[in-house]
Structure 1
């Protein structure tokens, strides 16, 4: 009130509220009842014998009243009846209220709902303009005392000059400290010793700014006690100035934190010095003109001159400032857009997306900010500025903290967890799997951080009541559901990671000397791991659907019916699965085996529950269903063997040929590499075949699996060399040419020709 003197705590109130990012002023001011209400006696109970309603009747009455108040039409009708009852003369009979029937809001169409909403808010907006017009035109006039006004202005100017001078001096004295802090933080940042040094110096400088502001306010309060000439009105005006000074200088401290025009080393962003000076100066002027105009000039003019003049001054000041702000925005639109794009190019990919999006709409957001401030200031100059300043500071704090958390999470996402060599050797896929889960969890946390920032921004501008939504609204259920879903996913991920790691540990060789598992074991474990992945995924999906409210009973029943229908049409698939299971249990083939299936010979590369994949030596890859395999040959089951037959000319001596063959085999067995492939001793069968042109000698070998071809090729090379050295000839191909002639009877005669030498 004009006749009160604001104490020191009232002066510091706004500063502390902004430092703590507290609520607006209306949440901390005490609410007092009018004296007439506090002195009114308690109502007496009626003398009639009306019975006390029971609990069910009370509940029904409460429900009916809630339905009436929830509907716009019924609520307005009830308000009209209450106003008519209050305006009725006291001599008339007691007014009777007829509770209006609550209409069903769900019967309205979308167009009707939009029309009602626009009519309600449009009416409220028009009512504010009417109220402003009434204030300017029809407000009561009050006499203007020139001497009193000049005296108040002199004392006001004396306090303002002294406070600004003191504040400027203490900031000038702290300038060397700021320079040293910036230089030390930048040096540590360049040396990469610790990335926290520079941010701590930037925040430290901001804290020093706030302490200097608190000191200036303390001194300003003392000066106000001595410069008010004992006049309570002057003291009140000086109190308005101190409150405005605290609010505006705190906002300027935020601007110095962002732009830091005089100490580039303490600037947290890459902004050129001229741009930093440009925007810090203009935004400081804007905040000063708005703050001192709405919080000081308008109230003083309204109090000392006239309410109409104060309202006109408010409209003129805010109109000029809004026009200047819009000119600044659109004059620098393209330059700021280029700078934001350049900042996005230097930023991480996650932040670059938001920065580029902001660069496209920043001028519209800034224009909406100043236009909203202009409209609010016309209806409620003081509270509108306090609300906008508070919401702005809280928004900057929310965005800064959210960006810091998101940046830390993004850096952690790009890092890799390194397990010990023993763990990597025992569990080959564990490190890759753990890093994948951690990266996914951090990305989810970053997404939740962005979502939380958006909700907090809406709450800061009072567009959304976050606390009520979390405690009383649907937010409580959403958070509870989110926690349960994350818990289920966490347990599923941990269970799959542990089981899969155990299987992979069994598939890998043991560092303590345990041999590699057999091919059959590897195949079965691989199939079991795939089946386990399908089982865990199915169970997790079913539980998640149940948690979010989906009734999975019809889904399970439908899956059973669908499975029955599919089973009739998938007999071949069932046959494939059953045949494959029996082949695996009989250890018929494993990955890496050389097999012949039908007319296909190749290496087994993949085995699933339905088919086997075979790669031929030509590179062709065949997928063969299990059910189509009737017989197959496996070349790697225990041993390998081959029988070598050599044909020589019939006129060679058989004993000499057998002796030469034995010498070739003996030389072959002296090769240690070949001898390691042979099991036992070769078996000589001697002469095993005779024709009119040649005879055949035979030798048999038993080898390691898949080594028979290597031994056979080496044996052929040795036999050829020894046969050539001994002069043993292979059989010649003979050609019989038949000549025809006429005998005495005229028949054709045949005369054999000698074979070529």
Structure 2
């Protein structure tokens, strides 16, 4: 910092020496290297510094010193500020003095309120200094003798040029009137045809280009007329040159107004104004811009030059005061009607523009009022330059907003469209089309947001509130653009990788409706778990890389994640056990989604399997979540085959051969049923008489079925067995003891009697 202060002192003294040399030699400008060369004269006497020519080494040293100053943002801004203050000081004051900035360690810490106060004081000082300079210019301006003959002679030549130029411009515009009308009809006719929405905008742009060519032709003819109507007088030529410059600027602005409102050719009107409103605003804005433009660019300079500066300043204030008052009256007189039209326009516009148009509808009058008030104050200090700046900024703002609206509208329309892949791709990758359209929609929305951001920056740059080029090439904008490009590339690669991998997994998970065999339940379960794990991994890596790209130090995050994982591992042993057990069960193909299982006392269908637990739905509708670690044994009814053993009790008095024959006939009828036979694997196994009691004996048959079909076959067999047993007169065992209650409500042992055996 001390080295910068030394360089600053040398540069300050050099700049003062150069200013003194410029005043003596009456040079028109001083280059930066020349200013830096004089910084080497700071340690020499003043009289020697004024006459000594710097050597090559001194010049190089001064250039290095100046480069060091300009390389630092703070020192450069401080130098520009002090140079502006020195240039703005009145001529009657002392010699301007430049002071180096205070070192950072010598500055006191300022609060936010003090900083705001300093900024306010700085801009208010600049505003007050502008009034002081205007006052000194008016008071110290030289008085000129008014020559009536010269004034009216110049006025006659000026009016001849103005009348001739306006007449020629009006005539050539009238000649192309049929062309405009034909272009409007053709553009509207084409726009009504499907798929021809681009013809009308191109027609409007073509009409605007023709209008600009006519303006250029009029300026060319006006320059020729000026060369022949200046009577060889430099004063008349100067005044006519002022008029031609004002004509070019004002008529260009009117050309833009004609493109927007187009009062004579409604077919070429880009916006839905009615004819009355279009003529109303076109006429008033044209008069407003014409009076202000020709008044500030022609009348005020001529009066200041031919009469005196005081009169010119007074004319400037009168013109701008009247026009500003009229503009404010127009704004607030039409505030409600324009607000209603903007709200109606927002309802007809795309959903993306609705919010912007509605917000503008409620503040447009304040923005327009601020525009004319700022123009009024600017015109007091710099009549010609302020109008050129305001009109240039206005036209650039309209172009920027128009291009931004076109780009945003095209992006909004593209967002609503979808890409259709070929049938082959859709068959092989069922979810690929949905994912591609989702990513494209996301990218288009991001591009639309960037478009709005770019429009805001361009608008600020157009009004010189923000140096966009410096911000993009030297300032933080360069880093921001670099970060945005990196972020975009990272997101693009992540999206492409996830889309491809997920599409491949989902292709394996697709059912046989696409002509491919249905994957097994184990495959579906494992692929689903792998897809979820892949999503977590890709998301985590992408987030970490993005945080690193935007400047976040992820080393503490990784260290913290490691420490957190260690702490969690001690407190989540059961969770780890769940995960490990679930992984082994999956690899052993113990159960899959859709299987009928029995886990402990629960029997139900597996509906969900995660890396930590399994979800089982009972036939009662109850849903159970069972951690893997709590499963010690389980039964799966869907592993290869299903089977059942059917036992039927028959009364002891029945003939066993006849009972077995009835059972075989029932099974034979079961095997003959087509809807049941497809479920049975192999032949039924008859075990004969397998149990005998004092009241009954048991016959048995066992059948092997397809998985989960044993209950269907068993229920059908039970129905047929009852049918055949009833037909054969085979009876089930009956109770042989009857308990008869006594009269007093008790049980009398004598009342217990044996029933006769069934015959």
TM-score if structure 1 supplies the norm length? 0.87
Query: What does residue range 221-232 of structure 1 map to in structure 2 within 5 Å?
Result: 221-232=223-234
Task: Provide the alpha-carbon RMSD of the alignment.
Answer: 3.4
Task: Specify the alignment match of 2:651 in structure 1.
Answer: 649
Instruction: Determine the C-alpha separation between the residues in 1 that align with 2:52 and 2:338.
Output: 76
Q: Which has the higher contact order (CA 8 A, sep 6+)?
A: 1
Aligned with residue 597 of structure 2, among 595, 598, 602: 595
Which SS does the other structure have where 2:517 is aligned?
coil
Task: Specify the alignment match of 2:26 in structure 1.
Answer: 36
Aligned with residue 472 of structure 1, among 474, 496, 503: 474
Instruction: Determine the C-alpha separation between the residues in 1 that align with 2:429 and 2:712.
Output: 36
Taking structure 1 as reference, are residues 96 and 431 closer, same or farther at Cα in structure 2, changes over 3 Å only?
closer
Task: Specify the alignment match of 1:10 in structure 2.
Answer: none
Give the CA deviation at 1:71.
Answer: 5.0
Taking structure 1 as reference, are residues 662 and 489 closer, same or farther at Cα in structure 2, changes over 3 Å only?
same
Give the CA deviation at 1:635.
Answer: 0.7
Task: Specify the alignment match of 1:168 in structure 2.
Answer: 170
Query: What does residue range 353-368 of structure 1 map to in structure 2 within 5 Å?
Result: 353-368=355-370
Map Cα deviations across residues 149-186 of structure 1 (whole Å, 9 max, x no partner).
Answer: 22222222222222222222222221221121111111
Worse-matched range after superposition: 677-686 or 137-146: 137-146
Task: Specify the alignment match of 2:717 in structure 1.
Answer: 715
Instruction: Determine the C-alpha separation between the residues in 1 that align with 2:52 and 2:461.
Output: 50
Taking structure 1 as reference, are residues 715 and 739 closer, same or farther at Cα in structure 2, changes over 3 Å only?
closer
Taking structure 1 as reference, are residues 729 and 754 closer, same or farther at Cα in structure 2, changes over 3 Å only?
closer
Which SS does the other structure have where 1:588 is aligned?
coil
Which SS does the other structure have where 1:449 is aligned?
helix
Task: Specify the alignment match of 1:286 in structure 2.
Answer: 288
Task: Specify the alignment match of 2:297 in structure 1.
Answer: 295
Taking structure 1 as reference, are residues 96 and 162 closer, same or farther at Cα in structure 2, changes over 3 Å only?
closer
Taking structure 1 as reference, are residues 719 and 532 closer, same or farther at Cα in structure 2, changes over 3 Å only?
same
Instruction: Determine the C-alpha separation between the residues in 2 that align with 1:121 and 1:503.
Output: 64
Q: Does 1:542 align with 2:544?
A: yes
Map Cα deviations across residues 530-575 of structure 1 (whole Å, 9 max, x no partner).
Answer: 1111111111112122222222222212211111111010001001
Query: What does residue range 615-634 of structure 1 map to in structure 2 within 5 Å?
Result: 615-634=617-636
Instruction: Determine the C-alpha separation between the residues in 2 that align with 1:648 and 1:748.
Output: 30
Q: Does 1:343 align with 2:333?
A: no
Taking structure 1 as reference, are residues 72 and 359 closer, same or farther at Cα in structure 2, changes over 3 Å only?
same
Instruction: Determine the C-alpha separation between the residues in 2 that align with 1:393 and 1:77.
Output: 29
Instruction: Determine the C-alpha separation between the residues in 2 that align with 1:71 and 1:47.
Output: 29
Map Cα deviations across residues 265-314 of structure 1 (whole Å, 9 max, x no partner).
Answer: 11111222221111111111111111111111111211222221111000
Map Cα deviations across residues 580-614 of structure 1 (whole Å, 9 max, x no partner).
Answer: 01111111000111111122222111111101111
Structure 1, unaligned runs of 5 or more: 1-32, 89-94, 742-746
Instruction: Determine the C-alpha separation between the residues in 2 that align with 1:48 and 1:179.
Output: 70
Instruction: Determine the C-alpha separation between the residues in 2 that align with 1:77 and 1:282.
Output: 39
Task: Specify the alignment match of 2:438 in structure 1.
Answer: 436
Taking structure 1 as reference, are residues 504 and 360 closer, same or farther at Cα in structure 2, changes over 3 Å only?
same
Give the CA deviation at 1:740.
Answer: 7.2
Instruction: Determine the C-alpha separation between the residues in 1 that align with 2:321 and 2:202.
Output: 40
Aligned with residue 205 of structure 1, among 195, 204, 207: 207
Task: Specify the alignment match of 2:236 in structure 1.
Answer: 234
Instruction: Determine the C-alpha separation between the residues in 2 that align with 1:509 and 1:423.
Output: 15
Aligned with residue 132 of structure 2, among 112, 125, 130: 130
Instruction: Determine the C-alpha separation between the residues in 1 that align with 2:713 and 2:682.
Output: 13
Aligned with residue 484 of structure 2, among 472, 482, 485: 482
Which SS does the other structure have where 1:191 is aligned?
coil
Worse-matched range after superposition: 410-419 or 665-674: 665-674
Give the CA deviation at 1:62.
Answer: 7.1
Which SS does the other structure have where 2:678 is aligned?
helix
Taking structure 1 as reference, are residues 316 and 436 closer, same or farther at Cα in structure 2, changes over 3 Å only?
same
Q: In 2, are the aligned partners of 1:78 and 1:99 still within 8 Å (CA)?
A: no
Worse-matched range after superposition: 693-702 or 502-511: 502-511
Instruction: Determine the C-alpha separation between the residues in 2 that align with 1:70 and 1:181.
Output: 53
Task: Specify the alignment match of 1:400 in structure 2.
Answer: 402
Q: Does 1:752 align with 2:742?
A: no
